[in-house]
């Protein structure tokens, strides 16, 4: 409900709450990207992500993500992607299980 009210512009408090949430999410994601040296990208996933596609593009998330002096240029170069497939975690787990089964049969990791 908060996301809907914030994105339709009907409730100022919801809009401010969403802005605060995006700032906290962006800051935390930027910290984690630096901690893990995630130069290959940061992937946002979960049930809320599809509803955040528009708000994520408005700049509040990205501004908080990059607000880390003196590493702003490094953070700007890290791609941030939204995972929209609701079965992404299940597909990843199935892939790992299939590879493990092939390896157990002697087929090797990439067979």
Has domain 2-85 been given CATH number 3.20.20.70?
no
DSSP class of residue 31? H
Does the pLDDT at position 54 exceed 90? Answer: no
CA 97 to chain centroid: 24
- Which of 1-5, 72-76, 80-84 is least confident? 1-5
Confidence at 7, pLDDT banded by 50, 70, 90: confident
Q: Tell me the pLDDT tens digit for each residue of 79-101.
A: 999 999 989 989 999 999 999 99
From CA 32, how far away is CA 34, in angstroms rounded? 5
From CA 89, how far away is CA 17, in angstroms rounded? 28
Confidence at 108, pLDDT banded by 50, 70, 90: low
Where do the domains of the chain lie?
Answer: 2-85
| Strand bridging mode 42-44 / 80-82 | parallel
Show Cβ contacts of residue 6 under 8 Å, excluding neighbours closer than 6 positions. 14, 15, 17, 18, 55
Task: Write down the residue that tokens 């949430």 correspond to.
Answer: 21
The answer to whether the CB of 29 falls within 8 A of the CB of 42 is yes
Does the pLDDT at position 22 exceed 80? Answer: yes
């Amino acid at each position: 409900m908060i996301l809907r009210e914030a994105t339709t512009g009907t409730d100022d408090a919801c809009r401010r709450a969403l802005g605060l949430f995006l700032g906290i999410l962006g800051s935390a994601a930027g910290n984690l990207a630096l901690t893990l040296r995630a130069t290959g990208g940061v992937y946002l996933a979960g049930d809320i992500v599809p509803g955040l596609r528009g708000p994520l593009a408005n700049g509040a998330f990205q501004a908080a993500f990059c607000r880390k002096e003196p590493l702003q240029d490094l953070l700007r170069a890290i791609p941030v992607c939204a995972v929209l497939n609701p079965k992404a975690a299940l597909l990843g787990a199935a892939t790992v299980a299939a590879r493990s089964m092939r390896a157990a049969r002697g087929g090797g990791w990439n067979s």
